[in-house]
Amino acid sequence: MKLRLNKTVAAVASSALLLMAVPAVGIASASGAASKPTYTIGYEGPLSGGNQQLGLNMVFAVQLAINQANKTGKLPFKLQLKTYDDQGDPTISPTQAQSAVHNKSLVAMVGPAFSGATAAAEPYFKAAHLATVSPSATRVSLATSGWNNFFRVVADDGVQGPADANYMVRKLGKTSVYVVNDGTAYGSGVASAFAAQATADHATVSTATVPGTTQCQNGTASATQYSAAATQAVASGAKALFYGGYYCDLGLFLGALKSAGFSGAIMSDDGSLSPALIQGTTPASAANGVYLTCACASSTNKSFNLQYQALAHFSAANATYAPEAYDAANAIINAMKSLKKITRVAIVNALHKLSYKGMTKVIKFQKNGNIAGSAIYVNQVKNGKIVQLGLE
Amino acid sequence: MKSILTHQLFRRFITAAAVLAVVAVMTGPAGSTEAPTAGFTGSFSERSSFFGFFETVRWVPFLFLALVFFGVWTLWLSRGAQIKSGVSQVMQVPRAATQRRPVRWGIGVVLLFVALILPHVINDPFWQAAMVEQIAVYVLLAIGLNVVVGFAGLLDLGFVAFYAIGAYVTAWVTGALPTPPLFGIHMDPFFAIPIAIVIVMVAGIVLGVPTLRLRGDYLAIVTLGFGEIITIFANNLYGITGGSQGTSLIPHFSLHIGPIKYVWGLAPVPYYYLTLVFVVIFLLAFSLLEHSRVGRAWTAIREDEVAAESVGINPLKYKVMAFAIGASTAGFAGVVTASQSNNIFPSSFSLAFSINILVLVIFGGMGSIFGVVLGALLIQTGSMYLLHSPPAGYQSSDLYIYLGALLVVMMIFRPAGLVPSRRRRREIVLSEAGEGHMNEVLTGDQP
Amino acid sequence: MGGFGHYLASHLVTMRKEFWFLFVGGVANGFLYGMVAVGYTLVYGVLRLINFAHSEIFMSGGFAGYFVMKALIGTSSPNGFATVYLIIIGIVAGGVVGAVVATLLERVAYRPLRKRNAPKLAYLISAIGASYFLFNMAGKEFGRYSISVPQPYINHTVFTIFGAPVQLYYIVILIAGVIMLLGLDRVVATTKLGRSIRAVAQDAETASLMGVNIDRTIALTFIVGGALGGAAGFLFGLGTGVVYTMGFTPALKAFTAAVLGGIGNLRGAMIGGLLLGVAESLSVVFVQAAYIDVVAFGILVAVLLFRPTGILGERLGRAA
């Protein structure tokens, strides 16, 4: 409810923000030390289309980090933000990447937000030695593709899936699990990692692919399939269900599961971690009790929440990946602080050596760009609200 | 009072205002389910700059435009015929000139020269990348679809399937799929070009033989279904296609001939030239084809299938040929895209893509090669411009609002397209005069 | 062969376990397909063309229902008599908006072409354009995310057939579907409007000589088909929520249903809808849910190739 209302505001606010941010920074630097050089930090992610909210969550956090850095006045440079909208689409992201690479003042990038878009764009960033710090791209193979400029501040799907399985089987004590994936790269990746670990934990596992629907982003199947899929889940006799995929389709599936009389525990991944899940579930009560896990933390930092709300005009509490985007931007800024001469290559090298305490976790990267440590948080829907239960 | 409301001028003005109101909403702000009216009210109440003269609420310039529109329309209705004949008289000279072969060749050479130096004039990498991925490749696809829709008069809504097959064949041949590569070795994408074209043409024949007997509107739906099915299979056959993750291991083109060694890389310009070579080859081939026996057979089938059959033309054979030949450019386009981006994702082979190509053909002029190329250039450059520097109120996800509206507007006002093929224009005029058998023939109705 | 026998046997066991579950869901979907399919069939009758933009009529009915339900229900949970009248209001809202959109569509995308006697290809392209315009416009104005419709009832299992629960939602679809389809059947068979629709479908030229106003008949056909499509959109949205792309797949299935029953044949469209709904639902026993749509397209292509007149045969203009 709240989020949707905010979305309109956010859309208006963001266009205002994107228009005004640059001149505002320009004026500030003119009144301050005129000799300070200005560098640009980029953000690439979905700023229009069906995943717009996710992009907005992040872009405001990046803007906040930049505003705070500029405000201290201690930095030997000024920062500004430039956004690149890829709609989360891997066919658009290479074009945006090339455009970003060409921007001489751009020294590093927060993003790309989505894994597919990252995979498609990264060769261009690598060729330009431009560091990219993604707040949310979790596909395992991104870290193993030999891109030394690739970093991410969240644990990958290879960590999340098994952690979820352990939670489901060991903590919740479910010995038979029906594992469903939505046929997307992301959903099937998490689901298969989950299934492997659950099997290793001696649970009975059966799997099914139920593709995304035209009711949702880029789906091809019909929403009417869920009643049949739910019937099969019930017929399997499993005590629990894991769904690898996104909130929109899960919402449809939850309604059908309730209709079919499924009574076991239901768990899903961070693709489903959105208040829109509850909004899109018919009836909304069918979402109650669902576990949602994420390598991302919801922000409990009061000062961040206040400042974020002031900038974005919506609450940071529901802004998935905003804390990670904030950390990603600050990782870049901290890397820049440590440098005498700021170049793209120098930032990549500095990020490899970086270690500082961010808002969500200690930001220290492994050699392949993955974050050291692997925190997975578990949330649950209670009375129509998503509540963070803690670490898995 | 009543006479005013029903007066022709009044109704004309209301129509003009309604059209402009729709345009205002199209270009206005977006809404949401929470605020469903925000988009509509914002479209009129928001302030905007009136052509840079002064700040005002948006309805003011739109009302002004409606008045201008209304005036021009009224003038056109009273003086239209005179203006038309005047314009056509002025146009007589250049039109006659372009009929002459040397002049046509001259224009072609000049355009080719412009195309050759263009990447050196435009230094912006966004535009250099767009020139390959979004413009040259789309020109190829458009001239291919033109063979099917324009030459043979068959509405194909699943053209993307052939493009997808081309891309997947590239991945297969170069060993980027989970399945073992064709012939067991990882080949260069250059070898994928002939293989992809052959496979795509075979796919066109396999799909075409049973379905091209169908009525035109049924054909449209069946081809649409084919496009969707290809995506579903690409998405779900993990062991063969890599599933929805797609594949990201497709190599770039490379040449190793004796001492010459050249590898196409991330830079878009070499790909631009490579694609340009094939655009020229396909353009020449299709122009020759249009005026060959085959081209004449297509025209005959399009205009009157029964008559064509009675003089010994086998309609099915030529329709299948059109399908297969048209598909070949899509197959090649698939190879270029796959190799250039190194990636393929099943989600990019959507119905919207087929519609996008259809818009290029319809806008440029069905059946007119020059028109279709021009249409592709104009629309793709336009949509890239909108992506690159979106004006206020526009989001790149709004593109299909404009393309959809364009299709309707073209069908109402200029069904033969921007640069109509002369033959096609004559057919439409004949059909509208109720002569010939166009109604049945254009959709392939059996009597 | 033995392998296949085993495959079949094991699936038939599953089939027996789940048959009634799947059957109930399939029948409910079938009614929705049927309601949309009659829209295709009616328009095909009078214009001899597939209304490609029918999916957007369905979508607009869904949104109309959503906004009305939201305004009337809010966060309350109605039951009893309130449920009945809310559902009727929702159906009427969906139907009226569906009819309005259908009328606009006819006026803007079809009539100018008809006046010029344009080739059929032009109608198809114009309709595709209108469809893309409409659903993307809905995405722009109402957001591009799926949203659930406030429920006019508390959905629960009313009774069971052989152990398969039958939801209140399915019963609502069933009752609404039966009433609307029977009503339409009577309207076309007995009223003056029905006669003129049939006359135009049979032979437009002769009908106009006999004093049937063709423009008016075509407009009314769009209104009737649009109203049913819009109402179906509301009922569909009630179960799965609304989103700007919601029309695409159901409309494609409905078209398949119309062809399956015999295009132009009203009863054929209804029966085709039911058959397709059930067939598609039962197919999950044999194939993964991912391939349900492939099954539906397979049925479409098979019908077009082997029995293009459909099960009941094309019946343009004959008594429905």
Q: Which domain holds residue C101?
A: 45-246
DSSP A300: -
Verify that C169 and C261 share a domain, yes or no: no
CB contact A116 to B (< 8 Å): yes
B101-110, B434-443, C1-10, range with greatest mean pLDDT: B101-110
- Taking residues B52-81, report their average pLDDT: 80
State residue A298's pLDDT score.
80
User: Do C35 and C177 contact (CB within 8 A), yes or no?
Assistant: yes
* A83 within 8 A of A42, measured Cβ to Cβ: yes
Does the pLDDT of residue C32 top 80, yes or no?
yes
Q: Do C119 and B431 touch (CB under 8 A)?
A: yes
Using CB atoms, pick whichever of A7, A91, A127 lies closest to residue B348.
A91
Residue B417 has pLDDT above 60, yes or no: yes
**Closest residue of chain B to C293, computed from CA coordinates:** B229
Q: Which of B31, B210, B411 minimises the CB distance to C125?
A: B411
- Residue B177 pLDDT greater than 70, yes or no: yes
In Å, how far is B266's CA from the nearest CA of chain A? 7
Q: Is B31 on the interface with C (CB under 8 A)?
A: yes
Which of C191, C215, C246 is the endpoint of a domain?
C246
The encoded tokens of residue A224 equal: 């009417």
Beta strand pairing call for A362-364 and A204-209: unpaired
Query: Would residue C95 count as lying in a domain?
Result: yes
CB C316 within 8 A of CB C45: yes
Report the sign of the C-alpha dihedral through residues B236, B240, B243, B246, in that order: negative
Instruction: Name the interface residues of A facing C (CB cutoff 8 Å).
Output: 4, 7, 49-50, 52-53, 183, 208-211, 213-217, 220-229, 231-232, 234-235, 248, 251-252, 255, 259-261, 276, 279-284
pLDDT at res. A331: 94
Residue of chain B nearest C53, judged by CA positions: B404
CA dihedral A215, A221, A227, A231 (to 10 degrees): -140
pLDDT in tens, C142-178: 988 788 888 898 877 788 888 777 888 889 999 999 9
Helices (H) and strands (E) in chain B, counts: 20, 4
Q: Which residues of B139-164 are buried (b: 16+ CB within 10 A; e: fewer)?
A: bbbbbbbbbbbbbbbbbbbbbbbbbb
Per-residue confidence (pLDDT) for residue A202, from 0 to 100: 92
CB A237 within 8 A of CB A176: yes
Chain A residues within an 8 Å CB radius of B395 = 48-49
What digits encode the pLDDT tens for the residues B112-157?
999 999 988 888 888 888 898 889 999 999 999 999 999 998 999 9
Contact state of B129 with A98 under an 8 Å Cβ cutoff: yes
The alpha carbon dihedral of B252, B255, B260, B261 has a sign of: positive
Higher pLDDT pick, B41 / A345: A345
In angstroms, how far is the first alpha carbon of chain C from the final one?
A: 46
Q: What residue in B sits closest to A91 (Cα-Cα)?
A: B348
Same domain, C49 and C183: yes
Tell me how far apart the alpha carbons of residues A172 and A191 are, in angstroms, rounded to a whole number: 18
- Of the residues B214, B228, B230, B407, the best mutation for testing chain C's interface (the one with the most C CB atoms within 10 Å of its CB) is B407
What pLDDT, on the 0 to 100 scale, is given for residue A109?
A: 95
* Mean pLDDT of all residues in A219-223: 69
Residues of B in contact with A276 (CB under 8 A): none
Looking at the structure, do residues C72 and C211 belong to the same domain, yes or no? Answer: yes
Distance CA B17, CA B37 (A): 20
Q: Look at residue A220 and tell me whether its pLDDT is greater than 70.
A: no
Query: Do C179 and C229 belong together in one domain?
Result: yes
Residues of A in Cβ contact (< 8 Å) with C289: 208-211, 221, 225, 228-229, 232
User: What pLDDT shows up at residue C10?
Assistant: 67
Side-chain half-sphere exposure of A281, counting CA atoms within 13 A: 28
pLDDT, tens digit (0-9, with 9 covering 90-100), for C94-144: 999 999 999 999 999 999 998 888 888 889 999 999 999 999 999 999 988
Provide, rounded to the nearest whole percent, the portion of chain A with pLDDT above 90: 40
- Residues A88-142: pLDDT tens digits? 888 888 888 988 998 889 999 998 999 889 988 998 999 999 999 999 998 888 8
Q: At a CB cut-off of 8 Å and minimum separation 6, what does B241 contact?
A: B168, B177, B178, B233, B234, B235, B247, B346
CB–CB contact C144 A50 (8 Å): yes
Q: What is the pLDDT of residue B436?
A: 43
Average pLDDT (A28-42) is: 69
pLDDT band, very low/low/confident/very high, at A10 (cuts 50, 70, 90): very low
* pLDDT for position B342: 86
Smallest CA–CA separation between B75 and chain A, in Å?
41
Element counts in chain C: helices (H) and strands (E)? 12, 2
Burial class (CB in 10 A: 0-12, 13-18, 19+), A353: exposed
Looking at residues A294-308, what average pLDDT do you find?
A: 86
What distance in Å separates the CA atoms of residue A310 and residue A304, rounded to the nearest whole number?
A: 10
Indicate if C56 and C187 belong to the same structural domain.
yes
Query: Measured between CB atoms, which of B126, B345, B395 is closest to A48?
Result: B395
- Look up residue C137 and give its two tokens: 């416009």
- Say what the pLDDT of residue C110 is: 92
Give the domains, in start order, of chain A with CATH numbers.
2-155+301-364 (3.40.50.2300), 158-294 (3.40.50.2300)
Do residues C210 and C236 both lie within one domain?
yes
Record: contact A8-B388, CB cut-off 8 A: no
Residue A92: per-residue pLDDT: 84
Average pLDDT of the residues of chain C: 87
pLDDT at residue number C205: 82
CB-based contacts of A69: which residues, under 8 Å, 6+ apart?
A75, A79, A330, A333
**Among candidate residues C246, C267, C289, the one where a domain is terminated:** C246
Read off the pLDDT of residues B84-109 as tens digits, 9 standing for 90 and up: 788 878 877 777 777 777 888 888 88
* Contact status of C83 with chain A (Cβ, < 8 Å): no
User: Are the CB atoms for B212 and B319 separated by under 8 Å?
Assistant: yes
B51 vs B16: which has the higher pLDDT: B16
pLDDT value of residue B397: 81
Question: What CATH number does domain B111-441 carry, 3.40.50, 1.10.30, 1.10.3470, 3.40.1000?
Answer: 1.10.3470
Report chain A residues whose CB lies below 8 A from the CB of B344: none
Determine phi and psi for C295, rounding to 5 degrees: -60, -45
Residues C239 and C294 in one domain: no
C143 shares a domain with C216: yes
- Domain(s) labelled CATH 1.10.3470 in chain B stretch across 111-441
Contact status, residue A163 vs residue A193, Cβ threshold 8 Å? no
* Shared-domain flag, residues C307 and C223: no
Place of tokens 């509509």: B40
Does C125 share its domain with C179? yes
Instruction: Answer yes or no: do A223 and C246 touch at CB < 8 A.
Output: yes
Query: What's this model's pTM, rounded to 2 decimal places?
Result: 0.86
The SS3 of residue A107 is strand
Residues in A touching C18 (Cβ below 8 Å):
231-232, 235
Angle between helices B369-388 and B399-413 (to 10 degrees): 150
Q: In B, which residues are within 8 Å of C259 by CB distance?
A: 218
Q: What is the mean pLDDT of residues C81-105?
A: 94
Mean pLDDT of chain A: 84
- A74 to chain B nearest CA, in Å? 34
pLDDT at B392 over 70: yes
Q: Which residue has the higher pLDDT, A48 or B25?
A: B25
Report if residue C145 sits inside a domain.
yes
Res. A314 pLDDT band, cuts 50 70 90: confident
Look at C50 and B221 and tell me if their CB atoms are within 8 Å: yes
Q: By C-alpha distance, which of C176, C28, C30, C177 is closest to C89?
A: C176
At residue C315, the pLDDT reads 63
Of C120, C122, C118, whose CA–CA distance to C130 is shortest? C122
Flag if C288 and A209 touch (Cβ within 8 Å): yes
B33 touches chain C (CB under 8 A): yes
Say whether both C62 and C178 belong to one domain: yes
Same domain, C155 and C138: yes
Report if residue C318 sits inside a domain. yes
Residue B32 is nearest to which of A7, A141, A221, comparing CB atoms? Answer: A7
Average of per-residue pLDDT across B267-274 = 90
Chain C residue numbers touching B14 (CB-CB < 8 A): none
Q: Could you tell me the pLDDT band of residue B3, with boundaries at 50, 70 and 90?
A: low
pLDDT band at B357; cut points 50, 70, 90: very high
pLDDT category of residue B4 using cuts at 50, 70 and 90 = low
For C288-292, what is the mean pLDDT?
76
pLDDT at A78 over 50: yes
Tokens of B378: 């104009």
pLDDT band of residue B380 (cuts 50, 70, 90) is very high
Q: Where are the alpha helices (DSSP H) in A73-180?
A: 93-102, 115-127, 157-166
Give the pLDDT of residue B437.
41
| Tally of domains within chain C | 2
Please tell me the predicted confidence (pLDDT) of residue B52.
Answer: 65
Alpha-carbon span B332 to B190, nearest angstrom: 10
pLDDT value of residue A194: 93
* Residue C113 covered by a domain: yes
Last residue of a domain, one of C246, C272, C297: C246
Q: What is the 3-state secondary structure (H, E, C) of A250-275?
A: HHHHHHHHHHHCCCCEEEECHHHCCH
Residue of B nearest to A115 (CA): B245
Which amino acid would we find at residue B270? P
Cα separations (Å) of A350 from A109, A143, A227, A335?
14, 18, 52, 5
Cα distance between residue B138 and residue B144, in whole Å: 10
Tokens standing for C250?
Answer: 């159901």
Beta-strand ranges (E) seen in A312-382 are 355-357, 362-364, 377-382
ipTM attached to this prediction: 0.90
**Alpha-carbon span B62 to B66, nearest angstrom:** 6
Specify the range with the lowest mean pLDDT, choosing from B212-221, B239-248, B424-433. Answer: B424-433
In angstroms, the CA C78 to CA B325 distance is: 61
pLDDT of the residue at B445 = 35
- Other beta carbons within 10 Å of B401: 22
Q: Does B143 touch chain A (CB under 8 A)?
A: no
State the pLDDT confidence band at A28, using cuts at 50, 70 and 90: very low
Pick from A215, C151, A5, C247: which is nearest to B33 by CA?
A5
The pLDDT-based confidence of A29 (bands split at 50, 70, 90) is very low
Chain segment C193-222, per-residue pLDDT in tens? 888 988 888 888 888 888 888 889 999 999
The Cα–Cα gap between B279 and B108 comes to 13
